[in-house]
């Protein structure tokens, strides 16, 4: 046996994709009018997994996927009806296959009865319950024991059989391996030598073959020449022949497109891509350094050098974009898990829920996609479990019996926006307040704005569900979701209309590795403000800054009062300009709020490579990371949300002070 262990990784990756594909298609199946093309595609997934498993000796995988294949085969050619039970069993099978595959690939022992219930269920659906499946991996060859039979075979190759590189002699040899054979040659058509056309076949044969391998094995010998010969195979003695009707499959055009796509892509280790991204990051720093060093050179003296540096920076930007795009993946890989979750919840709770997904092709950095999976799953669970009501409740409220959960992804000005909305019960402000008071999260008489009330659901230990169900009540609250999202530089907002809808919006950066930054100076320190969060920069007129009674300074920008924060005060920088009218105010957007950041001056715009501080320092509020500037100096990157949080905390302190 040839060992193909080196291709294991490739196979396992492929399986993961096939299983995800299978699950997605299964969940989408409409039981009433199942599409043959879809069933074929699902069948091929199971078939491919089984096919590859043989190469690596994963016998349990073969045995289990064989059951899947048998059932799917019967479903696709209509021998069994597509039922809800069958689809549910198949969906469960995806999990079992995943588990078996994982265990076998890691050489772990699998209990004999693992997945036995499901296997039994599949057999029951197939109508093969209690039958022993003999050597399923080689099912084509050994469909039970066969009797020794004698066949008469008329084999008359067409004139052109050699033109396809086939050779009747080789076929006769193949047949000879199957059993005892007597061959009679018919050479009547053979012309005289001068008339012999080189490359044309004039011969035919009648063969008597006695074998226990069955007719299928004989047919296999002629597999490649079926269209290049007249062939008649009949059993001698018994003239009865089962004509096996050939299933013709309705192939869809999209299959061909899929095949084309597969051929134009390659698999690359994520590690290699990361190394590439890192190297490009280092290059960006080097390039920035070169640019700074050459800034004071005169064009007359060094025209070539300066042009080169210019071109370098342009190419760097393109290289960076190209490399980053390698890491980009459609959010589909996360979205595709959601239908299953919604389906399971709907099943379990007797709800009718439609999941609508849009923007699945939106591309995001792979790391972000991975980190997005858990929070998103939680939000979808929440929407389906707590959001959407039971059909009778919905009907009583004058809504349609079917609830809708909408999952949407889109790009908005260099960021990715993911929205989970449902047309369910909405958030009850009363309940939230009641709960918050009960848990002592707010003072009994605190007066909160609608925004503030809705923000309460993100507090640790908060859950408003009357009953904790076994679906989303797992002790993980929205506070964890919020923390997860914020840990990858995102923000989350909630909007709800009681009785009508809830919508959660996540805003995320496209990548975690590089950002466009504005370098600002405060005293002797440089800081980076992410360009995406900057709205405008202005120097306020004297008197435009007002102090509100709680001590917070606000800036009047065309009639809008925006809180301002002094960076020198936040980070304790000496020798900075204190008077905003002498300094600059950078207006930034932090979540749903605007904020004015007071800095001494703007030094310029630059792409910066984000270096995480976490490995070397504890998290610092208001700082998301560091970078190395062109002159080799380390500069801190501002986390606008965090700076805003510093303000909020002051707000909260005020609130508490007032409440007590």
Partner 1 sequence: MAKTVLTVDDSKTMREMVSFTLKQAGYNVLEAEDGKIGLGVMALNSIDVIITDLNMPNLDGIGLIRAARADAKYKFTPILMLTTEGDATKKQDGKAAGATGWIVKPFNPEKLIEVMKKVCP
Query: Helices 116-126 and 59-76, interaxial angle, to 10°?
Result: 30
Give the shortest CB-249-to-partner 1 separation in angstroms: 5
Token pair for 433: 């307040």
Give the shortest CB-318-to-partner 1 separation in angstroms: 24
C-alpha 589/C-alpha 411 separation (Å) is: 17
Give the shortest CB-22-to-partner 1 separation in angstroms: 14
C-alpha 577/C-alpha 378 separation (Å) is: 46
Nearer CB in complex with partner 1: 70/526: 70
CB proximity list for 336: less than 8 A, separation 6 or greater: 20, 23, 24, 360
Output phi, psi for 563, to 5 deg. Answer: -65, 140
Nearer CB in complex with partner 1: 65/627: 65
State the pairing for strand pair 403-412/353-358. Answer: parallel
Nearer CB in complex with partner 1: 259/615: 259
**Strand, coil or helix: what is 394?**
helix
Give the shortest CB-47-to-partner 1 separation in angstroms: 7
Nearer CB in complex with partner 1: 75/409: 75
Give the shortest CB-172-to-partner 1 separation in angstroms: 12
Tell me which residue of 159, 164, 289 sits closest to 230, measured CA to CA.
159
Query: Helices 36-56 and 8-28, interaxial angle, to 10°?
Result: 160
Token pair for 340: 């299953």
C-alpha 406/C-alpha 414 separation (Å) is: 23
Nearer CB in complex with partner 1: 260/660: 260
Interaction site with partner 1 (CB under 8 A): 1-2, 4, 6-7, 10, 40, 44, 47-48, 51-52, 54-55, 162-167, 170, 173-174, 199, 221, 223-224, 227-228, 248-249, 251, 259-260, 262-264, 266-267
Nearer CB in complex with partner 1: 4/471: 4
502-511 burial, b at 16+ Cβ within 10 Å, e below that, comes to bbbbbbbbbb
Give the shortest CB-164-to-partner 1 separation in angstroms: 5
Query: Helices 84-105 and 338-349, interaxial angle, to 10°?
Result: 130
C-alpha 639/C-alpha 507 separation (Å) is: 14
**φ/ψ bin of 591: left (φ > 0), alpha (ψ from -120 to 50), beta (otherwise):** left
C-alpha 212/C-alpha 62 separation (Å) is: 26
Count CB-CB contacts under 10 A for residue 652.
12
Give the shortest CB-68-to-partner 1 separation in angstroms: 15
Residue 24's H or E segment, with its range, is helix 8-28
Nearer CB in complex with partner 1: 223/243: 223
Give the shortest CB-224-to-partner 1 separation in angstroms: 3
Give the shortest CB-35-to-partner 1 separation in angstroms: 15
Nearer CB in complex with partner 1: 98/200: 200
Q: Are 605 and 516 in contact (CB under 8 A)?
A: yes
Tell me which residue of 268, 142, 11 sits closest to 3, measured CA to CA.
11
Nearer CB in complex with partner 1: 193/263: 263
Nearer CB in complex with partner 1: 162/462: 162
Give the shortest CB-66-to-partner 1 separation in angstroms: 15
Nearer CB in complex with partner 1: 1/132: 1
Nearer CB in complex with partner 1: 73/639: 73
Strand ranges across the sheet with 601-609: 601-609, 514-522, 525-530, 634-638, 623-628
Nearer CB in complex with partner 1: 166/463: 166
Angstrom CA distances, 115 to 85, 341, 491, stand at 17, 21, 41
Give the shortest CB-181-to-partner 1 separation in angstroms: 16
Task: Tell me the DSSP string of 539-559.
Answer: -PPTT-EEE-TTS-EEEEETT
Give the shortest CB-250-to-partner 1 separation in angstroms: 11
Give the shortest CB-225-to-partner 1 separation in angstroms: 8
Angstrom CA distances, 340 to 302, 335, 376, stand at 63, 10, 13
């Amino acid at each position: 046996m040839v060992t193909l262990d080196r291709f294991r990784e490739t196979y396992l990756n492929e399986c993961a994709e096939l299983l995800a594909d299978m699950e997605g298609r299964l969940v989408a199946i409409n039981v009433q009018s199942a599409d043959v093309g879809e069933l074929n595609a699902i069948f091929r997934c199971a078939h491919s997994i089984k096919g590859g498993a043989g190469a690596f000796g994963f016998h349990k995988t073969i045995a289990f996927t064989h059951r899947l294949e048998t059932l799917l085969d019967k479903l696709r050619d209509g021998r069994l009806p597509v039922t809800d039970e069958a689809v549910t069993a198949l969906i469960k099978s995806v999990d079992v296959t995943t588990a078996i595959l994982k265990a076998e690939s890691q050489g772990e022992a699998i209990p004999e009865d693992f997945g036995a219930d499901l296997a039994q269920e599949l057999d029951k659906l197939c109508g093969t319950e209690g039958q022993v499946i003999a050597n399923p991996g080689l099912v084509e060859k050994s469909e039970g024991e066969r009797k020794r039979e004698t066949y008469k075979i008329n084999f008359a190759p067409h004139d052109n059989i050699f033109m396809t590189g086939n050779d009747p002699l080789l076929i006769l040899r193949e047949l000879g391996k199957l059993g005892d054979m007597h061959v009679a040659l018919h050479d009547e058509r053979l012309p005289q030598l001068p008339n012999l056309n080189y490359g044309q076949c004039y011969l035919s044969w009648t063969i008597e073959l006695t074998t226990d391998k069955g007719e299928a094995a004989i047919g296999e010998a002629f597999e490649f020449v079926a269209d290049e010969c007249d062939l008649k195979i009949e059993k001698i003695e018994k003239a009865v022949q089962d004509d096996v009707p050939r299933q013709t499959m309705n192939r869809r055009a999209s299959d061909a497109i899929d095949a084309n796509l597969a051929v134009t892509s390659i698999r690359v280790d994520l590690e290699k891509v990361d190394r590439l991204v890192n190297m490009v990051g280092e290059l960006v720093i080097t390039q920035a350094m070169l640019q700074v060093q050459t800034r004071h050179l005169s064009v007359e003296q060094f025209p070539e050098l300066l042009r080169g540096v210019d071109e370098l920076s342009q190419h760097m930007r393109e290289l960076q974009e190209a490399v980053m795009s390698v890491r980009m993946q459609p959010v589909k890989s996360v979205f595709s898990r959601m239908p299953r979750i919604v389906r399971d919840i709907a099943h379990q709770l007797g709800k009718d829920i439609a999941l609508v997904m849009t923007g699945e092709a939106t591309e995001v950095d792979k790391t972000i996609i991975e980190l997005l999976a858990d929070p998103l799953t939680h939000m979808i669970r929440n929407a389906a479990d707590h959001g959407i009501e039971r059909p009778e409740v919905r009907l009583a409220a004058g809504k349609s019996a079917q609830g809708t959960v909408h999952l949407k992804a889109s790009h908005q000005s260099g960021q990715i926006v993911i929205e989970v909305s449902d047309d369910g019960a909405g958030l009850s402000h009363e309940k939230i307040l009641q709960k918050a008071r009960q848990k002592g999260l707010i003072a009994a008489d605190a007066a909160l704005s609608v925004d503030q009330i809705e923000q309460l659901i993100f507090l640790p230990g908060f859950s408003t569900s009357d009953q904790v169900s076994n679906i989303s009540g797992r002790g993980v609250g929205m506070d964890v979701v919020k923390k997860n999202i914020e840990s990858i530089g995102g923000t989350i907002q909630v909007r709800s209309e009681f009785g009508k809808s809830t919508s959660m919006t996540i805003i995320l950066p496209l990548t975690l590795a590089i950002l466009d930054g504005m370098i600002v100076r405060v005293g002797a320190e440089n800081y980076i403000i992410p360009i995406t969060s900057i709205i405008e920069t202005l120097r306020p007129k004297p008197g435009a800054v007002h102090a509100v009674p709680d001590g917070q300074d606000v800036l009047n920008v065309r009639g809008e009062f925006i809180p301002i924060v002094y960076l020198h005060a936040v980070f304790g920088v000496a020798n900075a300009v204190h008077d905003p009218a002498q300094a600059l105010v950078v207006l930034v957007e932090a979540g749903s709020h605007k904020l004015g950041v007071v800095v001494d001056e703007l030094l310029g715009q630059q792409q910066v490579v984000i270096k995480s501080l976490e490995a070397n320092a504890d998290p610092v509020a208001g700082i998301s990371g560091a970078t190395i500037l062109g002159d080799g100096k380390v500069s801190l990157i501002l986390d606008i949300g965090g700076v805003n949080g510093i303000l909020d905390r002051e707000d909260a302190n005020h609130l508490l002070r007032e409440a007590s």
